[in-house]
Amino acid sequence: MQKRILLLGSGELGKEFVIACQRLGQHVIAVDSYDQAPAMQVAHQCEVINMLDGEELDRIVAKHKPDLIVPEIEAIRTERLYDYEKQGMLVVPSAKAANFTMNRKSIRDLAATELRVRTPKFLYASSLDELIISVNKIGFPCVVKPLMSSSGKGQSVIKDITDIEMAWSAASKARGEATRKVIVEEFIEFESEITILTVTQKNGETLFCAPIGHRQERGDYMESWQPAAISSGQLQRAQKIAQKVTAALGGAGIWGVEFFLTKDDVYFSELSPRPHDTGMVTLAGTQNFNQFELHARAVLGLPIPEIKLERNGASAVILTESAGTEPVYSGLEEAANFPDTDFRIFGKPVTRPFRRMGVALAYGKEESTDELRARATEVAKAIRVK
């Protein structure tokens, strides 16, 4: 049966989700704050609104009367989602999940206080003076993040007291609301970071994708690879935590659950109730279903019997260096010459320094993830954005 799906946020993750939904015969309305966002280019209908404006959000929901509402970004008036749920619309994965995970305080309090899973030590601050006190309690180095942001925006590492004022300023200017309050987090001396893509189903068991390793710069994902190296004990602990947190939030869909791995332990970091940027690597055919196909099937209530790792893969982002409009891409022929690779251009109409404009992919059954990472990086370097 065809469903009307209202997608709130229309970036590159949303674009792949729309494609997955259309292949299952669904109707998608893509919403974002600017025209010609990537998902709008492939959706049946689109709307341009400020999703932090509750009345505008109400208007769009009333106009389209969707069966499902799928948030793709953080900057949404998330408390409105509870009302839509009461009206009989399905919020993906649930209004509680969207509301809690859009705000770091809610999800961290749930994980650390209610569920008692292991997280870095943390405190909150709502002024520069409070930040100074919190930093001194947590100790140096530490990490400061706005309560609501994505892709590392407004995030800083404080190494000494001279960094505090700059960190407060960066967090205060980050996207979204609640940015005048920040979380101060213990800096974990981790060996690696991983994402456990977790799929919750309406009428089936919770499933896990093979762990994904990733590297960040400026708080944003630069490359990812699957499978990531992790001990069986750590993997079991991470999956147990992922299942515990997603069960507490409720609903069906894919979740990107992030962890820090130390030599002997696992720390819960963050969680996104939707496809994850590091999960772009699944577009390299690493699994029988990529993360967007899994999300579409889960939210539509279609059974997913199993998730199988088919081959190794790696992804590397394609960035732009300057601000502008109507980007032009060169080097595509060179990039296409690499064996066992692919690339996706997202179609964003505007560039800015370090904006993610595409992704390069590499795959293979015999090559190690290190070899594939190097190849994906070469493909990404070949593509230039002007």
Looking at residue 47, its pLDDT comes to 98
**Measured distance CA(253)–CA(198) in Å, rounded:** 8
| Virtual torsion, Cα 25, 304, 283, 262, nearest 10 deg | 150
Three-state SS string over the chain comes to CCCEEEEECCCHHHHHHHHHHHCCCCEEEEEECCCCCHHHHCCCEEEECCCCCHHHHHHHHHHHCCCEEEECCCCCCCCHHHHHHHCCCEECCCHHHHHHHCCHHHHHHHHHHHCCCCCCCEEEECCHHHHHHHHHHHCCCEEEEECCCCCCCCCEEECCHHHHHHHHHHHHCCCCCCCCCEEEEECCCCCEEEEEEEEECCCCCCEECCCEEEEEECCEEEEEEECCCCCHHHHHHHHHHHHHHHHHHCCCEEEEEEEEECCCCEEEEEEECCCCHHHHHHHHCCECCCHHHHHHHHHCCCCCCCCCECCEEEEEEEECCCCEECCCEECHHHHHCCCCEEEEECCCCEECCCCEEEEEEEEECCCCHHHHHHHHHHHHHHCEEC
**Measured distance CA(356)–CA(360) in Å, rounded:** 11
Show Cβ contacts of residue 113 under 8 Å, excluding neighbours closer than 6 positions: none
pLDDT tens profile 32-62: 999 999 999 999 999 999 999 999 999 999 9
Marked catalytic residue, from 195, 278, 369, 377: 278
29 has a pLDDT exceeding 90: yes
Q: What is the largest CA-CA distance in the chain?
A: 59
Q: Mean per-residue pLDDT for 67-79?
A: 92
> Is the pLDDT higher at 146 or at 234?
234
In DSSP terms, which residues pair with 350 in a beta bridge?
Answer: 325
Marked catalytic residue, from 80, 356, 373, 375: 356
Looking at residue 174, its pLDDT comes to 66
Marked catalytic residue, from 67, 270, 310, 340: 270
The β-bridge relationship of strands 207-208 and 253-261 is: unpaired
The β-bridge relationship of strands 253-261 and 192-200 is: antiparallel
**Confidence category of residue 7, pLDDT binned at 50, 70, 90:** very high
Instruction: Kindly report the pTM of this predicted structure.
Output: 0.93
Residue 67 falls in the annotated catalytic set:
no
Marked catalytic residue, from 134, 150, 198, 200: 150
Marked catalytic residue, from 72, 163, 258, 342: 258
19 has a pLDDT exceeding 80: yes
pLDDT tens profile 291-347: 999 999 999 999 999 999 999 999 999 999 999 999 999 999 999 999 999 999 999
**Confidence category of residue 218, pLDDT binned at 50, 70, 90:** confident
Residue 270 falls in the annotated catalytic set:
yes
Q: Mean per-residue pLDDT for 141-150?
A: 84
pLDDT over 90, % of the chain: 88
Phi, psi (degrees; rounded to nearest 5) at 148: -135, 110
Residue 326 falls in the annotated catalytic set:
no
Residue 278 falls in the annotated catalytic set:
yes
Marked catalytic residue, from 4, 54, 58, 152: 152
**Measured distance CA(57)–CA(63) in Å, rounded:** 10
> Is the pLDDT higher at 145 or at 194?
194
Residue 152 falls in the annotated catalytic set:
yes
CA geometry: angle at 251 spanning 56 and 61, to 5°? 15
CA geometry: angle at 300 spanning 299 and 303, to 5°? 95
Residue 119 falls in the annotated catalytic set:
no
CB distance 184 to 131 below 8 Å: yes
Looking at residue 357, its pLDDT comes to 98
Looking at residue 176, its pLDDT comes to 47
Looking at residue 178, its pLDDT comes to 44
Looking at residue 195, its pLDDT comes to 98
Three-state SS string over 265-324 comes to CEEEEEEECCCCHHHHHHHHCCECCCHHHHHHHHHCCCCCCCCCECCEEEEEEEECCCCE
pLDDT tens profile 242-300: 999 999 999 999 999 999 999 989 999 999 999 999 999 999 999 999 999 999 999 99
Residue 143 in tokens:
């990490």
Residue 383 in tokens:
């593509």
